Amino acid sequence: MSPPLSRTRRRLLAVGAVLLVLAGAVTWAVWPDDPDYRTQDARIAVRSGPNGDEPVDLDTRLFLPDGASATDKVPAVLLAHGFGGTKESTYADAEDLAGIGYAVLTWTARGFGRSGGQIHLDNPDYEVRDAQRLVDWLAARPEIRTDGPGDPRVGVVGSSYGGGLALLLAGQDPRIDAAVPMATWHDLPSAFLPESTGQGPVDGVFKKTWAGLFFGNGAGAGLGALGDSAGDPAAVAGALAGADPACGRFAADVCAAYQRIATTGRADQAAVDLLRRSSPATVLDRIKAPTLLVQGTADTLFPLSEADANARGIAATGTPVRVAWFTGGHDGGDGPQSDRDRIRFLMAQWLDHYVKGTGDTPSTSFTWSRITGFNALDRGVVTSGYSDPAYPGLGGTGTGTVTVTGPAQPVANPPAGNPAAISSLPGAGGGLSSFVNGVVTDLPGQHARFTSAPLDRPLDIVGSPTVQVRAASPTGEAVLFVKLYDVDPAGVATLSSGLVAPVRLTGLPAEIGAAQPVSVTLPAIVHRVEAGHTLRIAVATSDQAFATPAQPTVYTVAVPGDATAVTLPTVPGEPIASPQVIWRYVLVGLLAAIAVGLVVVVLVVRRRRNRHDTSVHPEYADVPLRVDGLRKVYGDFVAVDRVDFEVRRGQVVGLLGPNGAGKTTTLRVLMGLTKPTEGQVHVFGHPLVPGSPVLSRIGALVEGPGFLPHLSGLANLRAYWAATGRPEADAQLDRALEIAGLGESVHRRVKTYSHGMRQRLAIAQAMLGLPELLVLDEPTDGLDPPQIAEMRRVLKRYATDGRAVLVSSHLLAEVEQTCTHVVVVNKGAIVASGQVDEIVGESPSVQIEVSDAGAAAGVLGQLAGVHSVAVDGDRQLVVDTNGTARSEVVAELVRAGIGVERVVPRRRLEDAFLALVGESSSGSGDR
């Protein structure tokens, strides 16, 4: 058996253990996970180009899940990065996919990073053919599952530029088993030159900011995407060697087309044809791979209409298509966590079924999300997910109409498009919140407004609203931007996702009266208009994100008949239970568990208390206090070794002992403040444990007074009695106050009291209710002699009518004068006990002071009755006369010629006590 640990060491150990657990938890949370895949970097040389003979080096990385081998083959995923990125940009997604059992091949597209070649914008002859060669490469890998020779089991995943590649590859290469294109385009020329009345890109309005961003990105790709050597001027110079500074790594034809469009703000047919080659629109009818189309609602570059067109095109051939929208995109980023989780789940489900071949056929339900508020903690948006059994397109499953009114209004086209309204901040990198926090501005004089009445019920717009407008222009032409605002009662207007509908109107009359209505398809949005809000159609002449005519002109804008209906598609949708909802059940369950736990604890405690032995010890039923074999050990310090005594009715018992004898510890046990290590205490026959009701029959002063210092003496006594919960009349307050004898001071605050006053007040408090047993610890401490005398009388009187008093003291005289009985303790054990007069009664020993102690001892040694003679000092003798009369002893000494100076009779108690105190009363500490 190991020795018991000390209290301090146990505490240190406990603290240490807690710290260890905390440190462990932190380490566990922060420690990077062991990857469950391995990666392999390789430069793969492929031959592409129109004739498949132009070599290019691609920088690739293959992620192989653990366990993938020639015998345990795994399906593969081609993971393409976005524009301006490299294979590094998709690292996290590749980890994810590898984690669920796919071999993932990521590569840097030609023209970017460390790959060779030039940017051809996902041209079927270049980027797409590169990807086909990578499919060949995968088929040759021994770890990759194949459907046939040269045909690996492979899906293609990509976002934006990578998403375009995914669709084009799926259309060009029948070996692709599934495609997950995200936030990508349908028709590249229309995406960069949109026109919302249905005209083609030749008449489109150039999205100059986005185009410029991309061009800058590609032209500088040699600089930005070199990775770790980007800071090395030599490496930069090397990468750009021979590159056209105007075009960077863009292929010459792409560069030239961009320059033509950017210069004029208009696209020629050649440029449109060039861009169209890079568009999935051309291959949709050939896509046989089931396709999951993911598109963002906060995307002014590739809005929802792009995915819609792709979905219709692919579905037309019977290929399974699923559409999911998330709150994010080129403007909104990855979106909130709930959306990311949903998209990740949909993608895994899609790939698992169509590539890996596990899991049920995914449904083709349409899921989307809507901003429902702000997250107070990370300041992001919070979205709620919805689903509908089938993808309804942008027209919704139902429609609402809201009429907007307003007169014809003149609007000015600013020269060179400056200043321009701001609807979105392309490339600002996603503060979704910016759409709500009001970066959107319309400039006065440059826009017309048509406003509805407040809505009487909320409207959930999911899709593309349409509206008819009329315009007149002195030049016969106008470029206008039509926007749908949600205006709250305070007048704050919200432009959902910053999306606008650019229109180029031609053949316009100069007078508004002659203008014909044209139907404008507004961008598809997911937006809830609350009841009480109004809708506003704004028609602006400029927008910072678009190229507008440089010529200053004043147009006139109107709606048909000064009031026209805005058609708003709606989809009711089933809310997707947010996984967060589970926490509400957790909370309810937790509260219920706590309630149940509380009830159980209360029941158990009550049951245990009821079971508690409340029988009365018959022998002690009338004994106020009986202590048997009491022992208290603190750690390895024995405070009380063994104490037995009793206090009977009518007795005033003194517990006498030097400081540190264990008196206070004994009293603490009596008060239920401390649990004894061993032994029993009975009060009127009831076993005493902490909190025993029988304690209410004991009044106590233990270890000095304890009062609320800010209250008066009287208020303290009242507060104490209030805490007992007993009737006020039982307190006998007047008697207690009389005993305290504080006079008017009883109304003063206790903190102003002297030590003695507090002591008296404490004794008065102990006497409140006249308890049957009074326990007082050093009651005369701090009292002056008259008060001590008075206190003695009080205590003696107190014990007269069947009550009992236990007084502890280290002063012999006090016990002698106050008590009827005494218990002498030292070092935690009883050394003497009995009636005071018995103990105090004369002892057979006598102290004699003589002229010559040695001679006297000799003389007394001769005496027959004298038992012992002790020499105490050279003139002191302690003589045990043992029955011999003192006079006889003195006479004998005198007879022998020894001078007797003094004869002092000794008392037993003194004998006992002085011997103890004499031994050592110092250093024993306070027990």
Partner 1 sequence: MTTDVQAGAAPGYRAARTLPIRAEWRRQWSRARTRWALGLMVLLPLIILVAFQFDNGGDDNGGGEFGSLIDLATSGGLNFTLFCLYVSATFLLVVAVALFCGDTVASEAQWGSLRYLLAVPVPRARLVAVKLVVALGYSGLALLTLAGTALAVGTARYGWEPLRSTVANEIAPGAGLVRLLGILGYLAVVLLVVAGLAFLLSVSTDAPLGAVGGAVLLWILSSILDQITALGAVRDLLPTHYSTAWLGLLSTPAQFDDLVKGAISAVVYATLFWSLAFWRFARKDVTS
Provide the minimum distance between the beta carbon of 664 and partner 1 in the complex, in angstroms, as a whole number.
10
Nearer to partner 1, 179 or 774 (CB): 774
Provide the minimum distance between the beta carbon of 580 and partner 1 in the complex, in angstroms, as a whole number.
4
Nearer to partner 1, 636 or 842 (CB): 636
Calpha distance 759→761 (Å, rounded): 5
Provide the minimum distance between the beta carbon of 528 and partner 1 in the complex, in angstroms, as a whole number.
9
Nearer to partner 1, 604 or 885 (CB): 604
Judged by CB under 8 A, the stretch of 95-103, 714-722, 739-747, 873-881 that binds partner 1 is 714-722
Near partner 1 by CB under 8 A: residue from 4, 389, 575, 706: 706
Calpha distance 116→45 (Å, rounded): 9
Near partner 1 by CB under 8 A: residue from 259, 434, 451, 692: 692
Calpha distance 740→760 (Å, rounded): 5
Q: How many of the chain's residues bind partner 1 (CB under 8 A)?
A: 80
Near partner 1 by CB under 8 A: residue from 705, 713, 779, 828: 705
- Please tell me the chain's helix, strand, coil percentages from 3-state DSSP, rounded to the nearest 5: 35, 30, 35
Nearer to partner 1, 39 or 696 (CB): 696
Nearer to partner 1, 194 or 676 (CB): 676
Q: Please list, in sequence order, all residues whose beta carbon lies within 8 angstroms of the beta carbon of residue 677, skipping any fewer than 6 positions away.
A: 631, 632, 633
Residues 615 to 634 in contact with partner 1, rule: CB under 8 A: 615-616
Judged by CB under 8 A, the stretch of 253-261, 446-454, 705-713, 822-830 that binds partner 1 is 705-713
Calpha distance 351→74 (Å, rounded): 13
Q: In the chain, what's the furthest Cα-to-Cα distance?
A: 160
Near partner 1 by CB under 8 A: residue from 514, 604, 719, 894: 719
Nearer to partner 1, 315 or 698 (CB): 698
Q: Is there binding between residue 71 and partner 1 (CB under 8 A)?
A: no
Nearer to partner 1, 92 or 376 (CB): 376
Residues 465 to 524 in contact with partner 1, rule: CB under 8 A: 488-490, 492
Nearer to partner 1, 594 or 813 (CB): 594
Bridge pairing between strands 103-107 and 534-540: unpaired
Q: Find residue 640's DSSP bridge partners.
A: 632
Q: Is there binding between residue 683 and partner 1 (CB under 8 A)?
A: yes
Q: Is there binding between residue 202 and partner 1 (CB under 8 A)?
A: no
Near partner 1 by CB under 8 A: residue from 72, 147, 730, 784: 730
Is residue 730 within 8 Å of 802, Cβ to Cβ?
no
Q: Is there binding between residue 698 and partner 1 (CB under 8 A)?
A: yes
Residues 10 to 69 in contact with partner 1, rule: CB under 8 A: 25-26, 29-30
- Alpha helix segments (H runs only) across 141-294: 161-172, 188-192, 208-219, 221-224, 233-240, 252-264, 269-277
DSSP 422: B
Calpha distance 355→360 (Å, rounded): 12
Is residue 154 within 8 Å of 175, Cβ to Cβ?
yes
Nearer to partner 1, 252 or 587 (CB): 587
Residues 582 to 601 in contact with partner 1, rule: CB under 8 A: 583-584, 586-587, 590-591, 594
Q: Is there binding between residue 316 and partner 1 (CB under 8 A)?
A: no
Token pair 């920088």 is found at 59
Sequence letter at residue 214: F
Residues 790 to 829 in contact with partner 1, rule: CB under 8 A: none
Q: Please list, in sequence order, all residues whose beta carbon lies within 8 angstroms of the beta carbon of residue 59, skipping any fewer than 6 positions away.
A: 41, 43, 86, 87, 107, 108, 113, 114, 115
Task: For residue 276, count other CB atoms closer than 10 A to its CB.
Answer: 16
DSSP 421: -
Judged by CB under 8 A, the stretch of 39-47, 311-319, 477-485, 670-678 that binds partner 1 is 670-678
Residues 744 to 773 in contact with partner 1, rule: CB under 8 A: 765, 769, 771-772
> How many separate helices (H) and strands (E) can be counted in the chain?
23, 40
Calpha distance 268→634 (Å, rounded): 97
Near partner 1 by CB under 8 A: residue from 727, 785, 786, 873: 727
Q: Is there binding between residue 375 and partner 1 (CB under 8 A)?
A: yes
Is residue 138 within 8 Å of 154, Cβ to Cβ?
yes
Chain centroid to CA 454: 41
Binding mask 412-441 toward partner 1 (x if CB under 8 A, else -) reads ------------------------xx----
